[in-house]
């Protein structure tokens, strides 16, 4: 039987009070959530602004010697490490002079980039720097490439040719891989550097040239002098202002900056944007030994960017760099891209228990559509064991 309520109005008032309190509490919760959201948004905007600022600093760092309007296309040398700062300091000091610079260092460390920077920061920057890769020109042609030739200077010389020294008149001549010059050309180069005049092949007429020389080599030139494959007199001529560019493994702290710069640069060219590099990948990138230095880092990133759908870039450094971790298990016998791809896909398939689709499957781990993975497997001749 229902109980009798002698004061029905009071119950209603209590109920209304209760509803009022709940509404107030609800309102307080909403207000607190809105304040929290505003704070998170503020923090996100501040972080985004900081990222934008850091990106701008990486692209145009205070230590970037490349001056705006110095012939265009000036390339920043990215790096904050003490080692790279020291090199940048030397480049800054020598740039305005006419001194011959000898850049040494392992392959891919950035010697050409430094040469460009020195030229672009010099008073000669109005004219483009002229490059010669001394190891890429057949021995028989080096002389005419460097000094030029008259028509008919030798059998087969069907036309006149202006040599690179003449082209570089008033500018800078970058002699890359100078350590690979044959001995007889070394003698002639020495004479030009001493006398500042050239003679085209087939002409006895000396031509004055005003050329600043920047030479580079990844060979140990002092050792080459000892083994008599490089002339000591030319070595001393070139070694006026030596700059040694350190290998990447001795400036690992530069790697995150380099990665950021390279991913942005390649991403622009590819029309693909990555918001960030996965933390684990960045750690691995910093630990790898990089025998091919910045060039190798660049290649590894480019390959990962092709394979990765984004927005987070994952780089399987162990798979991409044969010497990573120095473990035999990680070593590849071939550096062909197809072989490296095949090994990598096989490894991931193995880890995923050969599941192609679904959570944790190989396609998810590789960041590919299952159909793309099938296609690649077929192309690379991979089938389930
Ligand atoms: N500090 C750097 N910042 C940004 N990119 C760099 C830097 N150093 C090198 N690179 C890039 O790495 C690649 C190799 O650099 P570069 O050609 O200057 O090396 P190198 O020492 O002249 O090599 P090699 O001795 O084989 O000719 C290029 O793509 C270059 O743009």
Q: What average pLDDT does this structure show over 195-216?
A: 92
pLDDT given at position 67:
29
Residue 197: which H helix or E strand, with range?
strand 197-199
Q: Find the 294 Cα to ligand 1 centroid distance in Å.
A: 6
pLDDT given at position 333:
39
Same fold, 82-246 and 249-379: no
pLDDT given at position 13:
72
| CATH fourth-level superfamily of 82-246 | P-loop containing nucleotide triphosphate hydrolases (3.40.50.300)
Cα 9 to Cα 21: distance, rounded to the nearest angstrom: 18
Residues in the chain: 385
Find out whether the beta carbon of 251 lies less than 6 Å from any atom of ligand 1.
no
Find out whether the beta carbon of 109 lies less than 6 Å from any atom of ligand 1.
yes
Residue with tokens 């690179």: 164
* Total-model pTM: 0.67
Find out whether the beta carbon of 116 lies less than 6 Å from any atom of ligand 1.
no
Pick the CATH number of 249-379 from 1.10.8.60, 2.40.340.10, 3.90.1150.10, 3.90.400.10: 1.10.8.60
Tell which atom from ligand 1 comes closest to the C-alpha of 79. Answer: 1
Find out whether the beta carbon of 117 lies less than 6 Å from any atom of ligand 1.
no
Say yes or no to pLDDT of 176 above 70: yes
Most confident of 72-86, 240-254, 302-316: 240-254
Say yes or no to pLDDT of 121 above 50: yes
Asked if residue 200 lies in contact with residue 147, where contact means CB atoms within 8 angstroms, the answer is yes
Nearest to 301 by CA among 271, 339, 258, 336: 258
Query: Encoding tokens for residue 109?
Result: 């460390």
Find out whether the beta carbon of 218 lies less than 6 Å from any atom of ligand 1.
yes
Domain ranges of the chain: 82-246, 249-379
Residue with tokens 């622009």: 268
Look at 78 and 96; give whichever has higher pLDDT. 96
Residue 311: pLDDT band by 50, 70, 90 thresholds?
A: confident
Residue 63: pLDDT band by 50, 70, 90 thresholds?
A: very low
């Amino acid at each position: 039987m229902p109980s009798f309520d002698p004061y029905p109005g009071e119950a209603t008032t209590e109920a209304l009070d209760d509803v009022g309190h709940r509404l107030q509490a609800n309102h307080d919760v909403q207000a607190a959530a809105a304040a929290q959201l505003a704070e998170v948004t503020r923090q996100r905007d501040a972080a985004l602004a900081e990222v934008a600022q850091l990106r701008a600093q990486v692209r145009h760092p205070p230590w970037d010697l490349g001056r705006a309007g110095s012939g265009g296309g000036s390339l920043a040398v990215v790096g904050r490490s003490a080692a790279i700062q020291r090199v940048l300091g030397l480049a800054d000091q020598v740039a305005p002079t006419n001194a011959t610079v000898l850049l040494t260092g392992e392959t891919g460390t950035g010697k050409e980039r430094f040469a460009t920077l020195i030229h672009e920061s010099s008073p000669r920057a109005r004219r483009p720097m002229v490059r010669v890769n001394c190891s890429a020109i057949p021995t028989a042609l080096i002389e005419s490439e460097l000094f030029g030739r008259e028509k008919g200077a030798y059998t087969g010389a069907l036309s006149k040719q202006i040599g690179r020294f003449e082209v570089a008149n008033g500018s800078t001549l970058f002699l890359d891989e100078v350590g690979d010059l044959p001995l007889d050309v070394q003698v002639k180069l020495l004479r030009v550097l001493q006398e500042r005049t050239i003679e085209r092949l087939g002409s006895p007429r000396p031509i004055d040239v005003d050329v600043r020389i920047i030479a580079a080599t990844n060979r140990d030139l002092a050792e080459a002098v000892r083994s008599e494959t490089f002339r000591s007199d030319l070595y001393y001529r070139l070694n006026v202002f030596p700059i040694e560019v350190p290998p990447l493994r001795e400036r690992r702290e530069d790697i995150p900056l380099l990665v950021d710069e390279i991913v942005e640069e390649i991403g622009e060219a590819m029309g693909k944007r990555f918001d960030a590099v996965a933390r684990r990948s960045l750690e691995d990138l910093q630990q790898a030994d990089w025998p091919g230095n910045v060039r190798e880092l660049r290649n590894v990133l480019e390959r990962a960017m092709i394979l990765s759908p984004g927005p987070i870039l994952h780089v399987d450094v162990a798979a991409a760099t044969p010497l990573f971790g120095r473990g035999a298990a990680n070593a590849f016998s071939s550096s062909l891209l197809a072989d490296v791809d095949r090994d990598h896909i096989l490894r991931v398939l193995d880890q995923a228990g050969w599941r192609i689709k679904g959570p944790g499957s190989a396609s998810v781990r590789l960041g590919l559509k299952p159909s793309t993975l099938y296609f690649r497997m077929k192309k690379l001749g991979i089938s389930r064991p």
